[in-house]
Amino acid sequence: MTNSETSPATASQSSGADSLDEFVPNSTKGPSASYMSRRATHSSRAISAIFVSLLVLAASVYLTTEVILHLLGRPALLLSPKEYATSLVNLPDLFIYPWLAVGGIVAALIGLILIIKAVFPGSLGRHRIRSERTAFILDDKALASGISASLRQVAGLGPGQVSTSVDRHNVIASVTPHAGRDLDRDLLERTLREEVSKLSLTPSLKTKLVVINSGSDS
C-alpha cells in the first residue's frame, strides 16, 4: 500500500520552488489590515524628518543666540545680524554669477528632493495580497523567483534561462532559450499574466515578456 499524503513541510517547499500558488483571501473585514499593510510595504520617513528637523533646530538655535548676543552688546559667534543682512545684500558681488546660479540650482534640487520624499510614499520592494481581514505581504524577490520558476517549468528551460524583475508597477520576465529553439510566446505571456493576476496584488502590476534570441530582444 502506497501512502499518497505529503507532509506539510514538504508540500510547502515543493509549491514554493515550482510556482506561485493561487491564494483566495478571506473577505471578512479587519480594522487594522490596511494600516499594517501600508507599514509593511512603505518605508518610514522618520529618519528624513528627524534629519531635517535637527538642521532647522540647529539653525534656529544659532540665529537666536546671535540675536541675543547682539542685543546684549556681546561679540558675535560668527557674524552679527547686521553683518548677515549686509552680506545678503552684497552676495551677488561676493560670488561670480555662474557659481551663484549653480548654488541656487543645487539648493532648489535639495528642496525638490525633500518635497518628493514628503509627498510620495517610499517603497520597500513588497506588494500586498488583497485582503480586508489580514495583511498578506509578498516580497518582490519572492514574487520574481516564483514567476521565473513557473516560466521555466512551462517552457522546459533550465536554471538561468529565465530572469524576472519586479518594481512597484511592472513585472518584466526575460527568457533566453538555447539557439535554434522556438518557444510558445503566447503560452509564456499567458502564464506570466495568470501568475500575477491570481495573487490580486496591490498596487496592480503590468506584465511584459522579453524573449532574447541570439543577442537580440523581441
How confident is the model over 166-176, as pLDDT tens digits? Answer: 988 899 999 98
Q: β-strand 170-175 against 162-166: which pairing, if any?
A: antiparallel
pLDDT of 44 over the 70 cut: no
User: Collapsing DSSP states into helix, strand and coil, what is residue 46?
Assistant: helix
More confident residue, 91 or 29: 91
Q: What is the pLDDT of the chain when averaged over all its residues? A: 75
Contact 190, 116 (CB under 8 A): no
Higher pLDDT, 196 or 32: 196
CA distance linking residue 54 with residue 59, whole number of Å: 9
> What integer pLDDT is reported at residue 3 of this predicted model?
44
CATH C-level class of 20-41+125-217:
alpha beta
Domain boundaries, the chain: 20-41+125-217, 43-122
The answer to whether the peptide bond before residue 203 is cis (omega within 30 degrees of 0) is yes
Higher pLDDT, 56 or 18: 56
Most confident of 34-43, 88-97, 138-147: 138-147
- Cβ burial of 194 (10 Å; 0-12, 13-18, 19+) is middle
Query: Which pLDDT belongs to residue 97?
Result: 67
Q: What is the pLDDT of residue 35?
A: 55
Q: Which range, 95-104, 120-129, 155-164, has the best average confidence (pLDDT)? A: 155-164
With cut-offs at 50, 70 and 90, classify the pLDDT of residue 19. very low
Taking the C-alpha atoms of residue 31 and residue 34, their distance in angstroms, rounded to an integer, is: 7
pLDDT band for position 55 (cuts 50, 70, 90):
confident
In this prediction, residue 213 carries a pLDDT of 76
